[in-house]
């Protein structure tokens, strides 16, 4: 491969600096992913060392939470790298968090404040992810903006 075919290191900087909103969305997704890992590990440890009502459910739930953590963690990594594909998994994560937050709000005890925090985080994440600055930084075009000149839309 010749040096003419190799992209210059500064080519990645041509997209511009990462907006603060995008960094905040990535941090939020990473935090949610880390919370899922911690919750899953807590369930696994409790299932293995404690006396859960159903050991199989505790172990399955723990593994499921850890596997689900991959979605927001990968999305956070993609958002930090300003990859357009990463917005989809990040939005899906926030949308999945909303019904969980709602159910937590209808529960008792510590689940209520945790539901408030989760709901606020999910709404904040969605607002950050659909923000025009974030969309532009990720290189995502809106509907109907496929790059085709507007004059030949009817041809």
Neighbours of 148 (CB within 10 A): 10
pLDDT at 151 over 70: no
The answer to whether position 5 is within a domain reads: no
Q: For the chain, what is the domain count?
A: 1
Range of the domain at 110: 19-141
| 83 found inside a domain | yes
Backbone angles phi, psi at 4, to 5 degrees: -70, -30
Closest to 100 measured CA to CA, from 114, 110, 80, 90: 114
> Would you state the pLDDT for residue 117?
95
The helix or strand, by DSSP H or E, that contains position 148, with its residue range, turns out to be none
In a domain, 151, yes or no: no
- Is residue 55 very low, low, confident or very high in pLDDT (cuts 50, 70, 90)? confident
The fraction of the chain above a pLDDT of 90, given in percent, is 67
Residue 33 and residue 72 in contact, taking contact as beta carbons nearer than 8 Å: yes
Whether 2 is covered by a domain: the verdict is no
The pLDDT tens digits of the residues spanning 130-139 come to 999 999 999 9
Tell me whether residue 57 is in a domain.
Answer: yes
| Residue 2: pLDDT over 60 | no
Pairwise pLDDT comparison (84 vs 155), residue with the higher score: 84
Q: Give tens-digit pLDDT for 7-28.
A: 444 434 445 789 999 999 999 9
Would you say residue 94 lies in a domain?
Answer: yes
User: In terms of pLDDT, which residue wins out, 45 or 16?
Assistant: 45
Q: What is the pTM of this model?
A: 0.78
Q: What is the DSSP string of 84-96?
A: GGGHHHHHHHHHH
8 part of a folded domain:
no
Considering Cα of 31, then 36, then 37, then 41, what sign does the dihedral take?
positive
What pLDDT was estimated at residue 66? Answer: 96
pLDDT in tens, 105-119: 999 998 999 999 999
């Amino acid at each position: 491969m010749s040096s003419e075919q190799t992209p210059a290191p500064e080519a990645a900087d041509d997209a511009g600096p990462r907006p603060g909103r995008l960094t905040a969305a990535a941090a939020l997704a990473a935090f949610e992913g880390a919370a899922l890992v911690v919750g899953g590990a807590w369930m696994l440890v409790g299932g293995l060392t404690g006396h859960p009502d159903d050991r199989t459910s505790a172990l399955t739930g723990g593994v499921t939470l850890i596997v689900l953590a991959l979605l927001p963690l990968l999305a956070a990594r993609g958002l930090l790298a300003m990859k357009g594909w990463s917005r989809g998994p990040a939005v899906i994560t926030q949308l999945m968090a909303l019904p969980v937050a709602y159910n937590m709000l209808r529960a008792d005890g510590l689940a209520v404040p945790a539901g408030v925090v989760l709901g606020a985080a999910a709404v904040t994440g969605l607002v950050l992810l659909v923000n025009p600055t974030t969309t532009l930084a990720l290189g995502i075009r809106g509907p109907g903006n496929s790059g085709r000149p507007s004059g030949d839309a009817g041809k």
